Structure 1
Amino acid sequence: MGAARPCPSEGLYRSMTERELLAAELALGLLEGEELLTAHGLVASDGEFARLVEDWEHRLAPLLDTIDPVAPPTDVLQRVLAGIDRAPEAGTEVIALRRKVRRLQWTAGLAALAAGVLAIVTLPPMFAPAPTAPAAAPLVASFALSGTELRLGVTYLPERGDLLINAAGLAGDGVHDHELWLVPPEGKTISLGIVAPDRSVRLHIPAELAARLRDGAVLALTREPLGGSQGRTPGPIVATSKFSST
């Protein structure tokens, strides 16, 4: 666990752990790549982390609901990040520095957001903002694996058409693979892909299949020969779950 840092929402004397920072960044929509995959996996498999994210969403909702999102100028931040990426042999230091830059960005953004709300309260509106369509909520499912305390987390991001599978801690036996399936109300089960042991993976879902992934959709996890079912009848079901919107 990293060093604690000031929490912008509760004053300079309140500190935040790395988990709290990750939860806040997820609530603000600032994560991407492997960090986004890891965070969504934690939401599905770690109840304490999921509550942290929900708590941040409740804290930010009064501010975020009062004004429309406005994209800040990005040229300065892009130049900073580009300079970081060009640093030779930076390794993990580059990743850490990018996280620091992003956290400085969202910390400053919270202060600017609060100032914007104050301006809206004290000044008459100049024009009515254009309505924006709400983003589709992620779908989350969690599989309890029999005989273990492990949970397999699955998250579907409708806006991107990506399926995130977090199988951290799930060891392979060298003989079998696990395969994830969609179980529609009617018709045959549909394979969503192979679960990589002890890894987090991202799979892109085709549009025609994505239309079937919705709140309440039933999922199944099966044990298959190495390489998966490959068009054969699915193997034994080891766990089932349902998608729910977060």
Structure 2
Amino acid sequence: MLRHFLRRALGRLRWQACARLWLPAWIAACFGAWPGVSHSLPPPSAPERVAWLWDGPGVPDWSRAHAAVVVQHVLLRGSEVLVRPRPQAPALGPQARVTPVVHVELSLAQPPQLGERQHRVIVEAVRRAAERSSSGWVQLDLEARPSQRAFYLAVLRQLRAVLPPEVRLSITALAWWCRSPDWLDDLPADEVVPMFFRMGADSAEMRRLLVEAPHRLHRQCRQGAAGFSMQEPVDVTTVSRYARTYWFDDRRWR
């Protein structure tokens, strides 16, 4: 009887010891794959990390010294030009370096009529944003389609003419532009930021090139700066290749 009792007690102790080892791993495995649980990790270290701050006050701690703040949204739709300023200031201190960003959206449902008026609105929005820069940079976020390239180039050339010499121009670029060398060669900007996230059907191939064959991408997409998302894991080696990385968060850094 005593032997049976001791054997059962020893068995319970062994089970408890094992449970302490595998139970946390089991919980992590199950709930790590549960819908709605974030798998995002802090971005790997790089010489400079900058958060893209869209609407809302959220700011990650690691970007409080320098942040890219969207200050104005411009929607071009048909003959309409709709301008909306940022509704809420981010929670940045007075010493923070701010790169103002002007986001321009070209409607797909109602393709815009791109003419002098639209050209003037974009240039003026970026010029005024540059007046608020404390980083020495201003950024234009405009995803031009191939049929809109002539208009986009005209806007960039005009910006070079009106921006103060001490303010440098940064522009975002769709990932597939990285395989259009003649297009990127013509962009008159101080910094091109390819956005390696939300790449659609091209995502798997682009991610493969970034890791296995970055030399096949345009030189503007292999050095300098690049944009990534907190919701899309990225190879550490890829991130470390860039001097400056911009980070987007679907949750607005809440």
Q: Which has the higher contact order (CA 8 A, sep 6+)?
A: 2
- Common fold by TM > 0.5: no
Q: TM-score, normalised by structure 1?
A: 0.25
User: In terms of Rg, which structure is larger?
Assistant: 2
Q: TM-score, normalised by structure 2?
A: 0.24
